[in-house]
Structure 1
Amino acid sequence: MRKSHGPALKKPVIDLAQCPWCRGKAVIKGVFYELPCDHCNASGWVVAATGEALALDELVTQLSMRLQAAQRQIEQLKRPQAGGPEAGYQESNRLGAGGTNYTGD
């Protein structure tokens, strides 16, 4: 680590795993009805490395980061990718004047 004091500049992404007790369902089967899982604070997620539950404020942050990453991946997969000879015309190669697209035509 390079920093010696102060808060981190970026929030670290913590690897999450499904809770082994409730299997990610956030509830466990009681005698008559389902009860919230005490092991994972009824979230269904625990820290992958240690198996411990996250604090609720940290859990909200980590789940938000995972959701944003998933949304970025979905948007990237939705964009059509040009293939073949037209691929050179669709993307900017920054070889023209002022960093514009140059096609050689």
Structure 2
Amino acid sequence: MIKSHGPAFRKQAMELAQCPACRGKAVIKGVFHDLACVQCNASGWVAGATGEALPVDELVTQLSLRLQAAQRQINELKEPRVSGPEAIYQDNNRRGAGGSNRTLD
């Protein structure tokens, strides 16, 4: 069944691009000090398809989705997956005393 009205069940990540005015830095150089970039709401990110600034509530959600994806990727890289004979050696085979690992070395 396709949803025809109302908010979506899940929030979808949208394509973001660096702001062309501030080049993703969220500030632009003023004469004496840095000024918040008004083209991207001082975030450094704009909608990838249109190049328009996102509303603050949508921007927070999209940045949170990106951060969560980056955290998942970091956690996957921290836990290296072993394969082949090493995977069998590292896995607990429960053949030792009390169900402990026995490798027969």
Q: State how far apart, in whole Å, the 1-side matches of 2:59 and 2:88 are.
A: 43
The answer to whether structure 1 residue 4 and structure 2 residue 4 are counterparts is yes
Q: Of the two, which has the highest radius of gyration?
A: 2
Alignment deviations for residues 44-89 of structure 1 (CA, whole Å, 9 cap, x no partner) = 0000111000000110010001000000000001002113223356
**Equivalent residue for 2:31?**
31
1:57 has 2:57 as partner: yes
Q: Distance in 2 between matches of 1:18 and 1:6?
A: 30
Separation (CA, whole Å) in 2 of partners of 1:30 and 1:55: 24
SS in 1 for 2:22: coil
Give me the identity figure in percent. 71
RMSD: 1.8
Q: SS of the residue aligned with 2:28?
A: strand
TM-score, length basis structure 1: 0.79
Q: Map 1:1-105 to 2 at 5 A.
A: 2-88=2-88
Structure 2 unmatched ranges of 5 or more: 92-105
Aligned length: 91
Structure 1 residue ranges, 4+ long, deviating more than 4 angstroms after superposition: 88-91
Larger deviation, residues 43-52 vs 82-91: 82-91
Q: Which amino acid aligns with 1:78?
A: K
1:89/1:8 CA distance change after superposition, 3 Å: farther
